Amino acid sequence: MIKHKQTLLLLLLTMFAGVASAQNNTNSPYTRYGYGQLADPGSANSKAMGGVAYGLRDKNHVNFANPAAYTAVDSLTFIFDGGVSLQNTNFSNGTLKQNAKNSSFDYVTMMFRASKWAAVSLGVIPYSNVGYNVGKTTEATDNVPENVLTYSGEGGLHQVYLGAGFKIIKNLSLGANISYLWGDIDRVLTENFTSDTQFYNFVKSTNVSVKSYKLDFGAQYTLEFAKKHALTLGAVFSPGHDLSNVSTVYTQLGNTTDGYTTSTKDTVVACSIPTTWGFGATYVYDNRLTVGLDAMFQNWADASYMGDSEALCKRGRISLGAEYMHNPMARNYLGHVKYRLGAFYSRPYYKIDGERAADEFGITAGLGLPIPRTRSIVSLSAQYVQTQGKKESFLDEKTFRVCVGITFNERWFFKRKVQ
């Protein structure tokens, strides 16, 4: 039986890792800027709670947002956790509207207790996603014929991490993740004169290939009082640093009459990621009600992208969430269902014409559905996210996203008795 479980987990890991390398989960024109749309860390239960994670301790889920939380897992449990998302986005700039649908990999992780005072986790999670295709047609004038300008891009960055959490004293845990950060971002600018061969068409394709590392450190302290009450304070820190990367620029200029001239150039360009600070507090009552608040800050204004140290803005996010279970001791199924709600406000790092481009608001809800006769859980969440352009000419986005997470929670490490 254990052999079959191991085979199943290996197949699922391979499947999710393949999806991670092959799919983008966005069609947002805002991903023209920087590394694209940054992924917010958190498993399915966190996503349904507005992204609350830094102070969250849940023995049934892998909280890779704060590695100190790994110590919440019990000594007999092996957890395998994976999630995917489906989303529908409406885009509008005040006059034109467009719709796009996407599916994406969210994460695949596993966690187990290594000793009485230590736990280990590893997994594959996204860092950013790029996906857009926008164009502009300029009408003909007396001197210049009609031309079409197109911007397109795809790709993103991914992380493979190995982490550990350590229980220092009874109520204090510390942890760390070390990640291999890699990926390619491709952007293409095309200008075509469709009706006049006297003008030269132009194509510029830029590829940025990143191979680097990322470190995350976390801490959690839990204060228990009045028997049924507990308050956990969490903090995370991720140091910023320069990335190891190579940029390849391909250009093509010409027309069908005179032919085309092409060139390719490889250069090392300055790219970096900023320091991240995160803080959270979570209150738990009687193992039934959980309420959490998180705050995160990244100073992208001090980071560089493609050699530009002023390409991006400071980024921040505030999240609020709650989870309720009616009765963990109940014999009926509904007593064990977890109900989740949340909301968040964030300021993305996108910058257009030297100004902050947008604000972001979101509300979330979800369910944690136990699988009968097992300790495993199916987590469903729905998110409504509105990205509001700071100017009337900037794009507005309204996204409805459904996330599905499956947590295989198995007792693998207990000793069987032979009679």
Does the residue 115 lie in any domain? yes
Does the residue 419 lie in any domain? no
**241, 273 contact by CB (below 8 A):** yes
Rounded Cα gap, residues 260 and 72, in angstroms: 62
Mind listing the pLDDT tens digit for each residue in 336-390?
Answer: 999 999 999 999 999 998 899 999 999 999 999 999 888 889 999 999 999 999 9
As a residue count, the chain comes to 419
Q: What is the CATH number for 188? A: 2.40.160.60
Residue 306's nearest CA partner among 275, 272, 274, 354 is 272
Both structure tokens of 104: 């994406």
User: How remote is the C-alpha of 215 from its chain's centroid?
Assistant: 16
Averaged over 316-337, what is the pLDDT?
92
pTM: 0.89
Rg (CA), the chain: 24
The pLDDT value recorded for residue 198 is 72
Residue 109's nearest CA partner among 65, 54, 167 is 65
Does the residue 33 lie in any domain? yes
Q: How many domains does the chain have?
A: 1
Residue 16's nearest CA partner among 87, 75, 104 is 104
Contacts with 116 (C-beta within 8 Å, 6 or more apart), sequence order:
75, 167
The burial of 386, by beta-carbon neighbours within 10 Å (0-12 exposed, 13-18 middle, 19 or more buried), is given as middle
Q: Which of 70-79, 176-185, 204-213 has the lowest mean pLDDT?
A: 70-79
pLDDT above 70 as % of the chain: 91
Residue 60's nearest CA partner among 374, 416, 285 is 374
Residue 79 lies in domain:
2-411
Does the residue 83 lie in any domain? yes
Mind listing the pLDDT tens digit for each residue in 33-90?
Answer: 999 999 988 899 999 999 999 999 999 899 999 999 999 998 778 898 889 899 999 9
Residue 201 has phi, psi (to 5 degrees) of -80, 155
Does the residue 418 lie in any domain? no
**3, 331 contact by CB (below 8 A):** no
Does the residue 416 lie in any domain? no
Side chain identity at 269, as an amino acid letter? Answer: V
